[in-house]
Structure 1
Amino acid sequence: MPVSREAPDILSPEFAADPYAAYRVLRDDFPLLYHEATRSYVVSRYEDVQRAFKEPVFTTDNYDWQLEPVHGRTILQMSGREHAVRRALVAPAFRGNALEESFLPVIERNAAELIDAFRGAGTADLVADFATRFPVNVIADMLGLDRADHDRFHRWYTAIIGFLGNLSQDPEVAAAGLRTRDEFAAYLLPIIRERRAAPGDDLLSALCAAEVDGTRMSDEDIKAFCSLLLTAGGETSDKAISSLVHNLLRHPEQLAAVRADHSLIAPAFAETLRYTPPVHMIMRQTAQDVALGGGEVPKGATVTCLIGAAHRDERRYADPDTFDIHRADLSATTAFSAAADHLAFALGRHFCVGALLARAEVEVGVARLLEALPDLAPAPGPQPREEGVFTRGLDTLPVRFTPTG
Structure 2
Amino acid sequence: MTTTREAPDILSAEFASDPYAAYRVLREDYPLLRHEATQSYIISRYEDVQRAFRDPAFSNDNYDWQLEPVHGRTILQMSGREHSVHRALVAPAFRGNELREKFLPVIERNARELIDGFRSSGSADLVGDFATRFPVNVIADMLGLDKSDHSRFHGWYTAIIAFLGNLSQDEDVAAAGLRTREEFAAYMIPIIQDRRANPGDDLLSTLCSAEIDGTWMTDEDIKAFCSLLLAAGGETTDKAIASLFRNLLEHPEQLAAVRDDRSLIPQAFAETLRFSPPVHMIMRTPTEDVTLSGGVVPAGSVVTGLIGAANRDARRYAEPDSFDIFREDLATKTAFSAAADHLAFALGRHFCVGALLAKAEVEVGANLLLDALPGLELRGDAAPPELGVFTRGPEALPVRFTPSASWSASSSPSPVA
TM-score range relative to shorter protein: over 0.9
Q: Which amino acid aligns with 2:400?
A: R
Equivalent residues, number: 405
Corresponding residue for residue 273 of structure 1: 273
Corresponding residue for residue 158 of structure 2: 158
The 2-side partners of 1:375 and 1:304 are apart by 42
The 1-side partners of 2:329 and 2:369 are apart by 28
Contact 2:30 2:294 survives alignment (8 Å):
no
Q: Which amino acid aligns with 1:241?
A: I
Structure 1 residue 278 displacement after superposition: 0.2
Corresponding residue for residue 146 of structure 2: 146
1:323-366 deviation per Cα after TM superposition (whole angstroms, max 9, x unaligned) = 00000000110000011010000001000000000000000001
Matches within 5 A, 1:1-400: 1-380=1-380, 383-400=383-400
The 2-side partners of 1:152 and 1:120 are apart by 28
Contact 2:239 2:394 survives alignment (8 Å):
yes
Contact 2:41 2:302 survives alignment (8 Å):
yes
Contact 2:307 2:343 survives alignment (8 Å):
yes
The 2-side partners of 1:383 and 1:206 are apart by 41
Structure 1 residue 165 displacement after superposition: 0.2
Q: Secondary structure, in 3 states, of the residue corresponding to 2:124?
A: strand
The 2-side partners of 1:175 and 1:252 are apart by 44
Structure 1 residue 168 displacement after superposition: 0.2
Q: Which amino acid aligns with 1:23?
A: Y
The 2-side partners of 1:171 and 1:293 are apart by 34
The 1-side partners of 2:95 and 2:196 are apart by 23
The 1-side partners of 2:242 and 2:291 are apart by 38
Q: Which amino acid aligns with 2:24?
A: R
The 1-side partners of 2:380 and 2:25 are apart by 34
Structure 1 residue 382 displacement after superposition: 5.6
Q: Which amino acid aligns with 1:200?
A: G
Identity, % of aligned positions = 76
Q: Which amino acid aligns with 2:134?
A: F
Runs of 5+ unmatched residues, structure 1: none
Q: Secondary structure, in 3 states, of the residue corresponding to 1:258?
A: helix
The 2-side partners of 1:150 and 1:199 are apart by 22
Runs of 5+ unmatched residues, structure 2: 406-417
Structure 1 residue 150 displacement after superposition: 0.3
The 2-side partners of 1:389 and 1:64 are apart by 21
Q: For structure 1, which segment, 371-380 or 189-198, has the greater mean C-alpha deviation from structure 2 after superposition?
A: 371-380
Contact 2:41 2:304 survives alignment (8 Å):
yes
The 1-side partners of 2:345 and 2:383 are apart by 28
The 2-side partners of 1:86 and 1:38 are apart by 31
Q: Which amino acid aligns with 2:177?
A: G
The 1-side partners of 2:116 and 2:386 are apart by 27
Q: Secondary structure, in 3 states, of the residue corresponding to 1:278?
A: coil
Structure 1 residue 383 displacement after superposition: 3.2
Structure 1 residue 66 displacement after superposition: 0.1
Structure 1 residue 381 displacement after superposition: 5.2
The 2-side partners of 1:382 and 1:185 are apart by 42
TM-score normalized by the length of structure 1 = 0.99
Q: Which amino acid aligns with 1:147?
A: K
1:232-290 deviation per Cα after TM superposition (whole angstroms, max 9, x unaligned) = 00000000001000100000110111001101000000000000000000000111111
Structure 1 residue 293 displacement after superposition: 1.8
The 2-side partners of 1:41 and 1:288 are apart by 14
Structure 1 residue 294 displacement after superposition: 2.5
